Each structure stands twice: as C-alpha cells, then as structure tokens.
Structure 1
Amino acid sequence: MSSPMSATTFINLLKKEGVNVVEVGSWRTHNRNGKGPWGPVHGVMIHHTVTQGTARTVDIVQDGYSSLPGPLCHGMIAKSGTVYLIGYGRTNHAGLGDPDVLSAVIAERDLPVDNEASVDGNRHFFGFECENLGNGTDPWPAAQLEAIERVGAAIARYYGWNERSVIGHLEWQPGKIDPKGWTMASMRNRIRARLAAKPSAPTPPPSNGVTYTVKPGDTLTGIAKSLGVTAEALFAANKDHLKDPDQIYPGQELVIPNGKPLPQPQKPKVDLSRLVEAAKKNPSMSGTPVTYSGVKVVEAALIDEGLLSKSRYDGHFGADTVKAYAAWQRRCGYTGKAADGIPGKDSLAKLAKKHGFNVVA
C-alpha cells in the first residue's frame, strides 16, 4: 500500500527529476480532502485540458467549474514544459473508473479495456492536466512531452513503480479520449527508458529558444520594451500558448523572437517607504489615492499566494490589499500589531525572495 507523500517531498522529487515547476497560490493545501479520502495512491493519470493559453488554463484547473470545483489536478503541464503546481491531496481529475484497470495498475501488468466506471480514481491517482485543445491537431511541443515523461518517472521512481503505473484518462474511464495526439504506449516506453537512468537536467530548448521567465508585475509590453523587441513580435512568437497578450502568468517561459542572447531585465524594485505610505493612506479613502508601481508588484505576489483577488490588481494599496498583506504576515508567523497589514521590512523581504523582486529600504 502506497501512502501519499508530503507536498514538500512531491515538489522536491519533481525538481530532482529536472522538472521546471511553478507554485500557484496555496497549492499545498488546495484540495478536495473534505469530500473523500486521498490514498492509498497507485499511479499517475494524464489528461488534456481542451483549453488554450497558459494563464487561462491555470485559472481553470485551479478554480474548476460550478459543476466540478477545483482543483482539477495536482499539476498543469504547459506547452512550454513548465509544470504549474495547482493542488495537493484529493483533486477532481479522474472520476469513476474501471476496477479491473486499477487492479492492473497495482499489479503493473498490461491494461484491460475499460468498460466500467465504479471506482473512485480521485482517491488513487496523481493527476496532471496538459495544456492542449485535444482535437488531434493542436501541437504537442517536445518540451511538453518531455515534462510529461519526467513527471511520470519522478513519481514512479519515488514509489518504486514501473512505467505501467502511468496511464491516460482514456484508459481509465469509458468514453474519455484524453490525452489525444500521441499514445500512452509511446509515453510509457519513454518513462521506462528514463527510469533505467539517473535523474538528469532538462533538455535545453531548441536553437533559437532564448527565453524570458515572467516575473510578478510583468506585462507583455513591458517585457518587449526591456528586451528590445515589439510586443506584437513577442506575442506572435508565443502564440501557441498565449491566447491573450494581457494574460501572462509569473513563471511562464516566453520565447524571444529574434533568438539573440539579450540581457534579462533587472528584478522589479519596491520602495518600502512608498509602499507603507500607500498602505496607510489609501484604505481611509481620503483625498487622492497614493499610486505607485511597486504596489502592483506586491499585489501580484499576494495574488500568486492566493491571498488577494485578481480583481484587486489595481496599483492601489486599498483595504483588501491591507487585509491580504496581513494574512501574509500571519503566514510568516507574525501576530497582533505585527500583522496589521502595513508592510514591514522583514515580511516584505520574505515576499520579495519568494516572488523575485528587490526591496529598497
């Protein structure tokens, strides 16, 4: 019987296997454990999302739908090969499936045809959604397929499983077609080969693939300007995984279109004194609000932590942002007046270290 590993073990083994991961909000505690058991775990299940655009897909698998609440997976594998960690514990990804398939996964033998749906798969499988339209023609980039391979191998390696413990949704539940565009047999062959070797670093991107990693507070226009390219050219170079130029997500990898080594922009700087001024004045709603670009950097980090609504990403350190920052201070261990929502040097430094910006005292 395989008990679920801890969230910390989970992220560490993915990194050890060479997986590029991005932590989305409070993924470690985002789960459906209150609706049913999680474990024992017996395998890994792969899906496709029937969506387009990394940011939009992350939102969907994190929040779910009214009829199927999130999280909808443990991780979302983007076309770039980046794995966004969405939830940990029981997630709504597998649904009911065939008991004979589960028995075959546990015994690590060839899978029978799935013709029944009576066993709770959300309890027994790690689930990974892959960004793809699922129409058979939407491309699967090499980096994305390699990430699927690495994720499957990482979990199987930890539990001492072989490649037969990694299955597709179409092999579990009658009527499902995902993943579509390649075969699970071919993926299991890749995982078998990877398990025969030691974990290794990720394969470098293709020749012209000079990339930029999106930081909190970034915009496509701002990134393009810093790198000396047009926003239109940057969007066109990334159109396979960007649906909307206004929807980019911290941790996303963007390909720079001219392929020349360009300097990465410096980390955003946040002036602590100006941030405190905004936090003290704006919630009172008296006079003209204090606006400062550094506020958006902090708001983006609080959104990524799952503490602030995206609708409050406005550059005003208002009452909702103060409340969210107070929650961050409590998360850091502060109490009482030390968790009043007014940024302090130490709590801001911790937020900056985690979300990639610099603090100016």
Structure 2
Amino acid sequence: MTATIAYDRDVSNFIDKLSATGHVTHTSYRKTSVTLHHNAGRFSHQGLLEVWKTRPASAHFDIDAAGAVAQYVKVNEYAWAVGNMVGNQRSISIEMANETLEPGWRVGEATWRSAARLAGWNFAKVIGERPSKSNLFYHHRWSSTQCAGPHMDDIYDKVLEAAEAAYDLFRDSHPSPRPDTEPFPGTSFFHTGRKSPIVAASHQRLVAEDCNRYQSSADADTWGPGDVRSYAAWQRKLGFVGDDANGIPGKTSWDKLRVPNV
C-alpha cells in the first residue's frame, strides 16, 4: 500500500483506492500553494471516495466532521481538484466536510482548524514557504465556483492565522530522539539532524545503488535521500507500526536492516 505523509496525527490511507478510479494523474510537480474546498455534503472519508468513483474528481486530502484526516493523492501529484490545469499542478487540495448544506455551506470548527493545521504542515514540509494570502486559497481562486462557501469566506483570516501558527510549529519542530537513536558528531544524513556512522555509511551505499529505487521499494514518495517521510515509509515496510515508524534513524531500525556497524 502506498504510504501517506509523515504527519504527526493519524492519516487514513485512500491513495490506492482513489488511484483505482483513474481520477488522478500520476505526474509530479513542485507545489507552491494550498487550496481549501468544501465537499458539498456531510461525507465520511469513505463516502467521499464513493462520490469520486463515479465523478471525475479528486483531492489530496479530506477532513471529516470530526477533524480526522484522510489522504487520497500523493502531495506532489496532480489531483483533479480545482478545474484549472496550473492550479492542479501547483496546489495541494484539501477537502472539508460540511456541517450544514446550502445556502450557507458551513464547515465546523473542528474541520476547518484541522484543515488549516494540515495546510501549515504542507507549507512547512512540502512547499517551504510561510502561508499567506498569496498562497493559501479557496477553490474559487482557480475557477468559477463559490467553493469553499460563504462561511469559509467570512472566516478566511482565522483560517490563515491557524495555518500560520501550524507552519511555525512544524517549521521549528524536530522529532525527539528515541532511546535507540545514536547521536554522533559525523556527517548528517536525514533532515532530523540525527547523526551516526551507520547512517552515513548506509547513505553512501544507498546513493550508489540509486536512492530513488530504495524509496520506491518502500512505497514512498521520492523526495531525495534525506527525507524523514521516506525513511518512515521504509520503517513501515520493515514492520514498524505507530510511533516506531517515526522517520528517525536509530539502532533498532538499522539492526533490523542488518546494516553493518562501520
């Protein structure tokens, strides 16, 4: 199963199920913005997938009425989301379940705050820019629609403020060292800043053997040799679950790989 993002909260995985509909283009682009949508209904994650099985549409993420997150498309890929080719290429789309239907199309606070937090994560970890009015959009930024609805228009400033706060949190945060982590004053390998002679030697070996191939074998997005999410995906492929698949290089992971201690 294709791995979801290395978010610090649970992310339900609908990537392969959405891909089976054909309503996604598996071409990667550099993302520069996040676009928020309402999904015109009180859908569960599965309910939204059922809609997309017959409707030629998709988005990268959905937030349900309780604020839970599901992922349908890899963040760097082209979702059929905004009705605009450039928008689909450059924006990460987040759907939100509605609390009420037309004409107000309200989105509950738990839902929009979760969407804003996820947007902040994507700005910090994928896009690399602080959210602003120039890169955090609603669907109507790209095409002729009222989406994400009048309620979301009214609270845009609150949504942006929440996304900015999340960006600051994720930009400044670093995973806490686990007991099996081996800090070492050597060559840095992963973005976590963890350093180890084992990691450094394995880095050289993996690059030599083609890093993209290593990440593909882990069902990970290809982000280069130093990305926490690809390492976390590799841990999951090896059988680590929950907090153990945290993307932090450590002795337990490398022992399981039988990487020589050099």
TM-score, normalisation: structure 1: 0.40
Alignment partner of 1:24 is 2:10: no
- For the Cα contact (< 8 Å) 2:106–2:149, is it kept in 1? no
CA RMSD of aligned residues (A): 3.4
SS at 2:112 equivalent: helix
Aligned partner of 1:33: which letter? T
The correspondence for 2:102, drawn from 135, 142, 145, is 135
Is 1:84 the counterpart of 2:75 in the alignment? no
Determine if contact 2:83/2:142 at 8 Å carries over to the other structure.
no
Q: Which amino acid aligns with 1:174?
A: S
Query: Which ranges of structure 2 fall in alignment gaps of 5 or more residues?
Result: 173-216, 218-236, 242-262
Question: Which of 95, 119, 129 is the matching residue for 1:161?
Answer: 129
Query: What's 1:58 paired with?
Result: 49
| Superposed structure 1 runs of 4+ greater than 4 Å apart | 27-31
* 2:165 counterpart (193, 198, 201): 193
Matches of 1:192 and 1:167, distance apart in 2: 13
Structure 1 distance, partners of 2:107, 2:41, is 13
Q: Decide whether the 8 Å contact of 1:48 with 1:180 is kept in 2.
A: no
Contact 1:134/1:180, CA 8 A, preserved across alignment: no
Whether the aligned pair in 2 keeps the contact of 1:58 and 1:84 (CA below 8 Å) is no
Listed as ranges, the matches of 1:4-43 within 5 Å are 8=3, 11-12=5-6, 15-16=7-8, 19-24=9-14, 26=16, 32-33=24-25, 37-43=27-33
Matched, 1:95 2:83: yes
The share of aligned pairs that are identical, in percent, is 13
Partner of 2:111: 144
Q: Is the 8 A contact 1:81 1:147 kept in 2?
A: yes
Q: State the distance in 2 between where 1:138 and 1:178 align.
A: 8
For structure 1, list consecutive stretches of 5 or more residues without a partner in the other structure.
1-6, 97-118, 201-330, 332-349, 355-361
Asked whether the equivalents of residues 45 and 127 of structure 1 are also in contact (C-alpha less than 8 Å), the reply is: yes
Distance 1:169 1:187 in 2: 14
Alpha-carbon separation, structure 1, partners of 2:28 and 2:54:
19
**1:77-112 residue CA offsets vs partner (Å, 9 max, x unmatched):** 11111111112221110122xxxxxxxxxxxxxxxx
CA deviation digits over 1:42-100, x for unaligned, max 9? Answer: 11111111123314223224x241xxx24x1111111111111112221110122xxxx
The one-letter amino acid paired with 1:178 is A
Q: Is the contact between residue 79 and residue 144 of structure 1 (CA under 8 Å) also seen in structure 2?
A: yes
C-alpha change, 1:87 and 1:64, in structure 2 (3 Å) is farther
Distance in 2, matches of 1:41 and 1:58, equals 23
CA contact (8 A) 1:76 1:128 kept: yes
Aligned amino acid, residue 60 of structure 1: V
CA contact (8 A) 1:20 1:81 kept: no
**In the TM superposition, what are the counterparts of 1:1-361 in structure 2 within 5 Å?**
8=3, 11-12=5-6, 15-16=7-8, 19-24=9-14, 26=16, 32-33=24-25, 37-54=27-44, 55-61=46-52, 63-65=53-55, 69-70=56-57, 72-88=58-74, 89-96=77-84, 120-132=86-98, 135-158=102-125, 159-164=127-132, 165-183=135-153, 184-198=156-170
CA shift for structure 1 position 162: 1.2
C-alpha distance in structure 2 between counterparts of 1:177 and 1:91, whole Å:
17
Say how many residue pairs are matched.
167
Q: Offset at 1:40? A: 2.4
CA contact (8 A) 2:120 2:165 kept: no
Give the SS at the match of 2:31: coil
**d(CA) in 1 for partners of 2:15 and 2:128?**
30
Query: For residues 137 and 57 of structure 1, what CA distance do their matches in structure 2 show?
Result: 20
Q: Which TM-score applies when normalising by structure 2? A: 0.53
Aligned AA for 2:116? E
CA distance in 2, matches of 1:27, 1:126: 19
Q: 1:178 to 1:198 in 2, by over 3 A?
A: closer
Partners in 2 of 1:139 and 1:174 — Cα distance? 19
C-alpha deviation, 1:146, in angstroms: 1.8
